[in-house]
Structure 1
């Protein structure tokens, strides 16, 4: 007689929806890899802040308001309860508000016969704190996955930090996508036996090398070296550093071009910076692109730049390398665990345009074997993370899935 699948409840506001398909795609990707094992069933509760209007003038708030209450994505049932996020006090109220709003959704799942074994929460604040409340109310074991800014930024606020420390003490297990995040939890006094590093993998089918010259022609790209910077247009992602680096490169590499993929509040500032530095003809902002289209741009590029000030485990690094493109990245948090040798790229300790330009020149002079870069990325499959999740969730549920 075969054992029944392990039943999990994934809880996180960082989960894609039909109106924001790229939001939190890294959480969905890990779940899809886990489900591909055939040993797990899941439901997703992905709370959304309540907003009164779907009018386009409200931008991202309108998209959140248009999120369906219940939908199916890639065969997974997803519930989107609404929680109140009051102005000014929203940051401290969010965990309780999110938890209370999710109770009816979870009760509904239980009434439908979905009695889950484990709560699998992602992002420590406010999601992990809310999940700790729900785990207590429903009497379920809990794991919380730390992903980056939840532990390398939010703890600077004293009340959220204390709430996260409480949640870490209540969770049966905490997962970090890199060792640096687990070190934060260890510093809070969380016992080693409850700490786990489960790195993100890369989808080696979605991200694969395509012919570089063909991609450049299809995308209408000219110039060399072709530099790429991908991510939300916010200061933390360092696109401004990439523009500074381009300005430093142009005297010796007059055909260099920089492509910036993403959308966000810094767009106007980045365009103005490029104009002020006289490099506007060498910079192209594409706006946001679907994740499924990125492999063409990665494959076309010579170098991916990631000049972030904070990262947990930057998926764009592995995505680029899986397409054969080396990287130049800030030497922070989990990034040294991703870029572990010179074949993969270069790490930069000084977050400045000059330092990044020097690293790019060093990488270009050394030359790139794109097949070797791809082979390096192949060492980051999802298999080990999936096996570790099965073992952990099974143990918490009182069953052996090792």
Structure 2
């Protein structure tokens, strides 16, 4: 596989010209280091996972940073949080735009340290696995079921690894490693069960008490375990929309996964045809669409404003997006055949938000407008 340009490239180059530091975070193996080195091949690359370099940076951070300056990529910097304060001082002294690119996998630690030490000096970008459009010809013409099972991790495509080989090893190697390092989980078997249960409830409201009862753990532990998955870019919460339009609304978030290949592996799905009669078929398609919209915004350097909406009468819209002062209501259906009742929830929502726009994204081929609602295939995202 040739290297694919990431759509975040233009934004990254723009920010490098304005800030002394660019931080790139995201899941393990999402391509952060490859991207940074392709973005600035003339920069010195320093991998802080190497014990000798990590030791140097920890014991004498000032000497380390004076040794590495004027164009440096610092990989996995979350392992040496001592560097952040010194980066603040030295970049203020030198005042050079684009002097450092930082990469790291653990979102919470990296963001927390940056908030404390580097506010105003650093630009942050999130790099997720490949989007459908980044994959280009490798994805075009494939069914959505194939796209979902394959996921988007670069190494899987680089070495043409079968999903059934790649993702179980990814889960074992990276998720469990991060869990041990971020949180002292003694019973990894129970955590793995929690992860599988969560996968089975993708696209559903996150019910802490339900997980607590099934696993025999308290709700505080359930919430902390989900936070670990968010920290490691494995799963995320989609909040409910905050405006109630004078109606009672459900405020509990839904849960989705940052990669559908990981999600399929957790559900025991190995081949696209396994999805034909699978109970999570619709949820997986929904996860794919939500992810593509999220990646599109992140690749522009934007914070995605994505929500769902449900009132106390179970009227629901799968996805709401606020963008450029407008509200877009989106219904997501995995069916290839259009049915008029697909528009029911959107029409109901527009009664309370007449200024909103509405869209149906589904697996069929219609590309038209009906009753003011745009209907289109998922490739038209």
TM-score for the superposition, normalised by structure 2: 0.32
Taking structure 1 as the reference length, the TM-score comes to 0.31
